[in-house]
Amino acid sequence: MPHCDIENLTCSVLVDGLPLPEFGLEESINDKGQRQYKCWVPSEAGKEFTVNVQGNKNERYKTRLALVVDGQSVRAHNVPEQKPVRNPTAFSHSIEGRRVTQTSILPMVFSLAQTTDDDTYLNASNPHLGSITLSVSLSISQVMPSNTRPSFVEHSLGGPVHERDKKGGKHSVSFGARRVAAKSRLSKTIGYARQDFVTFTFAYRSIDELQANGIAPAVEPTDTKPLILDLTVGSDDEKTEEARLRRISKLQVQLKREREGLDVIRGRKRVKREPSTTTVPSTSREVIDLT
């Protein structure tokens, strides 16, 4: 996964609690000295995902995260204090979706992109479709009074894509059904010690698109010859305990070979690292943090 030595930060996209494979990792530093990491991940329509970030706790400043999906702001907030404190010097935090109230969120879901033949969308498609970007800052914040009434914006992601548009992929991100979440604390960012000092961008595409473009290796056909285990017993000599142990040993070797062949097939599905051309969308900043 992308790793930044500053604050020992790592970031990944999780599906079913496991990080998606990443490939084509690129690292760069822009003219402002900000670190940028870009890579590709395979997406599967209908799967919820979260964005996880881990790193060292800063003793003086809050770690602020700003998540942008398909070019639209999803959430911007400080990493909350974890109770009980498992590690006083490090943190691990996952963004599950858009906060719509202090006690509920809309989860993020990989979905099939909506296509249209309406030519008004031909040159007006979202140039950031197919990207997940997380920016990290060190902020100076103050806790808001408990009677503060925050405003939440509940909007949709994605939108129609022209069927001839090749900039995006077959997938986009949408929001799932609202669900209960831990109550957030409100804080206000009043300044930055380091703003957007590192940005992680994940370009997501379906696995067949990645394979078609040579980014992910295609699965090669395999020998489907059925496994036949000979369990018949021959002469009286083969009925002895020693003979049966020999037969069991042979069968175990045969099963081991089949398992190794299965591991080879699964290994071919792993993605390899190739250059990426993903761009990092600009992110807007919210004043109220929902942590």
Report the candidate in 29, 31, 32, 25 with the shortest Cα–Cα distance to residue 3: 25
> In percent, how much of the chain has pLDDT > 90?
27
Beta bridge partners of 131: 203
Q: Give the gyration radius of the chain's Cα atoms.
A: 25
Q: What is the pLDDT of residues 252-282, one digit of tens each?
A: 878 877 877 776 666 655 544 444 444 434 4
- Residue 266 is predicted with a pLDDT of 64
- Residue 89 is predicted with a pLDDT of 84
- Residue 147 is predicted with a pLDDT of 54
pLDDT of 7 above 80: yes
Are 16 and 178 spatial neighbours (Cβ–Cβ below 8 Å)? no
Q: What is the pLDDT of residues 57-115, one digit of tens each?
A: 888 888 999 999 988 899 988 888 776 667 778 899 999 999 888 888 999 999 987 77
- Residue 285 is predicted with a pLDDT of 43
Report the candidate in 201, 255, 261 with the shortest Cα–Cα distance to residue 71: 201
Mean predicted confidence (pLDDT) in 126-150: 78
Cβ-based burial of 173 (10 A; exposed 0-12, middle 13-18, buried ≥19): buried
Report the candidate in 86, 83, 80, 82 with the shortest Cα–Cα distance to residue 102: 80
Q: Do you find a cis peptide bond into 84, omega within 30 degrees of 0? A: yes
Q: What is the pLDDT of residues 208-258, one digit of tens each?
A: 888 888 887 777 666 556 656 565 655 555 557 777 788 888 888 788 778
**What's the whole-model pTM score?**
0.70
Instruction: Choose from 124-128, 267-271, 285-289 the range with maximum mean pLDDT.
Output: 124-128
Q: What is the mean pLDDT of the chain?
A: 77
- Residue 198 is predicted with a pLDDT of 94
Q: What b/e sequence results for 198-207 when a residue is b if at least 16 CB atoms lie within 10 Å of its CB, and e otherwise?
A: bbbbbbbbbb
Kindly give, in sequence order, each residue whose CB lies less than 8 Å from that of residue 28, ignoring residues fewer than 6 positions away.
Answer: 35, 36, 38
> In percent, how much of the chain has pLDDT > 70?
68
- Residue 140 is predicted with a pLDDT of 84
Give the Cα separation of 233 and 247 in Å (integer).
10
pLDDT of 287 above 60: no
Q: What is the DSSP string of the chain?
A: --EETGGGEEEEEEETTEEPP-EEEEEEE-TT--EEEEEEEEE-TT-EEEEEEEEEPPSSSEEEEEEEETTEEEEEEEPPPPSS-S-TTEEEEEE-EEEEETTEEEEEEEEEPPEE--GGGTT-S-TTTTEEEEEEEEEEEEEPPTT-------------EETT--SS-SEEEEE---EE-PPPPEEEEEEEEEEEEEEEEEEEEEHHHHHHTTSSPPPPP---PPP-------SGGGGSHHHHHHHHHHHHHHHHHHHHHHHHHHHHTS-------PPPPP----SEEE-
